[in-house]
């Protein structure tokens, strides 16, 4: 029987507080994905399977979890009994995982990420409703032959390409960085089919993020270059969270030029919530488009990996 596979990775959706009245004092990633599913009456009778891929507070997300997730997704794509995949995730780095999956997935089956802002033990927990929504969205997407990556929570659906966390504590914490949410029947953006294999590469390139701000004099960039030289570890890339539409403090820019002269790839993104940095003819520094700085880091890592092949 075709079923939706729910992959658990942790997050607040699986979080618990010892005192439900003080739900801000909770620990993320405590309940299994099985327990999350059994707490949602709407899911009873729906053909589902669960798999615990990881159990992390997503602030601690990294390649180990992404590798495990890539392996689970690769198997799910090959399993004819799986019609769609739902991933439970923490909200903090959901935009990075979403962006990664959008880059790698080949579009064979729909993948829907969901999360929660309140732990499972809160009297007004949002996780059960979000999980039910994600399964509904995944089932409907599979029925219409959709094969991209989306994020379903708080009653809205976001493209994995656009989504980002936009509020640190509101229940409806995500937006599209200027892009609208997807309608129930809107086709999802085509994922980019980069392939899961690249997740297994070692070592991963090192890409760091620096911010342009008042008095940004490039001290951190020079310190990173000096450290790389002293330790023999290569700094491969830098994402700059720029002011406005990709502008840089002149002193930071001078340091970035020194980094580039040493072979470091530098991309500009924006520290502004909406609009990103769109590429223009004659750009001195490549623009990361609509990606947030954290997403641009993922994209540059993937580009550096593919340049290695
Ligand atoms: C996390 O990202 O794992 C914790 C915070 C959250 O899910 O809201």
User: Can you tell me the mean pLDDT for 232-252?
Assistant: 97
User: Can you tell me the mean pLDDT for 46-55?
Assistant: 98
Q: pLDDT > 70: what percent of the chain?
A: 100
- The DSSP result for 160-196, as a single string, is TTT-EE--SS-SS-EEBTTBPPBPTTPPPPPP----G
First to last CA, the chain: 39
Counting ligand 1 atoms within 8 A of each CB, the residue from 56, 58, 116 with the most, and so the one to mutate, is 58
**Nearest Cα residue to atom 1 of ligand 1:** 90
- The distance from CA 280 to its chain's CA centroid, rounded to whole angstroms, is 26
Assess contact for 204 and 235: CB atoms under 8 A: no
309 has pLDDT over 80: no
Determine how many CB atoms are found less than 10 A away from the CB of residue 29: 22
The pLDDT of residue 3 is: 97
Out of 86-90, 95-99, 197-201, 270-274, pick the least confident: 197-201
1 has pLDDT over 90: no
Q: How many residues are listed for the chain in this entry?
A: 309
- The pLDDT-based confidence of 40 (bands split at 50, 70, 90) is very high
Assess contact for 117 and 94: CB atoms under 8 A: no
User: Can you tell me the mean pLDDT for 39-61?
Assistant: 97
75 vs 308, higher pLDDT:
75
Catalytic residue list contains 12: yes
21 has pLDDT over 90: no
239 vs 20, higher pLDDT:
239
Comparing CA positions, the residue from 247, 249, 220, 245 lying closest to residue 235 is 220
The pLDDT of residue 23 is: 79
pLDDT tens for 135-171 read 999 999 999 999 999 999 999 999 999 999 999 999 9
With a 6 A CB cut-off, is 36 part of the ligand 1 pocket? no
281 has pLDDT over 80: yes
- The distance from CA 83 to its chain's CA centroid, rounded to whole angstroms, is 22
- The pLDDT-based confidence of 20 (bands split at 50, 70, 90) is confident
27 has pLDDT over 90: yes
With a 6 A CB cut-off, is 270 part of the ligand 1 pocket? no
With a 6 A CB cut-off, is 58 part of the ligand 1 pocket? yes
- The pLDDT-based confidence of 47 (bands split at 50, 70, 90) is very high
| Averaged confidence pLDDT in the chain | 97
Counting ligand 1 atoms within 8 A of each CB, the residue from 9, 10, 12 with the most, and so the one to mutate, is 12
pLDDT tens for 54-111 read 999 999 999 999 999 999 999 999 999 999 999 999 999 999 999 999 999 999 999 9
């Amino acid at each position: 029987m075709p079923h939706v596979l729910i992959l658990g990775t942790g997050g607040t959706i699986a979080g618990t507080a010892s005192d439900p009245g003080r739900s801000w004092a909770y620990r993320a990633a405590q309940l299994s994905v099985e327990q999350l599913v059994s707490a949602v009456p709407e899911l009873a009778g729906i053909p589902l399977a669960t798999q615990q891929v990881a159990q992390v507070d997503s602030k601690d997300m990294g390649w180990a979890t992404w590798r495990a997730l890539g392996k689970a997704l690769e198997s799910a794509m090959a399993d004819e009994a799986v019609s769609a995949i739902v991933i439970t995730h923490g909200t903090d780095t959901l935009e990075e995982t979403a962006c990664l999956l959008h880059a790698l997935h080949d579009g064979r089956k729909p993948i829907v990420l969901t999360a929660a802002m309140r732990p499972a033990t809160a009297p007004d927990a949002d996780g059960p409703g979000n999980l039910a929504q994600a399964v509904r969205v995944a089932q409907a997407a599979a029925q219409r032959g959709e094969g991209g990556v989306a994020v379903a929570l708080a009653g809205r659906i976001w493209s994995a390409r656009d989504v980002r966390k936009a509020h640190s504590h509101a229940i409806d914490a995500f937006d599209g960085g200027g892009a609208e949410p997807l309608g129930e029947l809107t086709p999802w953006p085509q994922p980019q089919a980069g392939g899961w294999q690249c997740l297994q590469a070692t070592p991963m390139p090192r890409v760091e993020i620096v911010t342009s701000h008042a008095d940004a004099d490039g001290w951190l960039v020079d310190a990173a270059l000096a450290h790389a030289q002293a330790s023999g570890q290569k700094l491969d890339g830098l994402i700059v969270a720029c002011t406005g539409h990709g502008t840089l403090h002149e002193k930071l820019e001078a340091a970035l030029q020194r980094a580039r002269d040493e072979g470091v790839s530098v991309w500009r993104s924006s520290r502004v919530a909406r609009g990103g940095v769109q590429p223009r003819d004659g750009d001195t520094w490549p623009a990361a488009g609509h990606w947030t700085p954290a997403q641009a880091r993922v994209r540059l890592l993937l580009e550096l990996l593919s340049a290695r092949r």
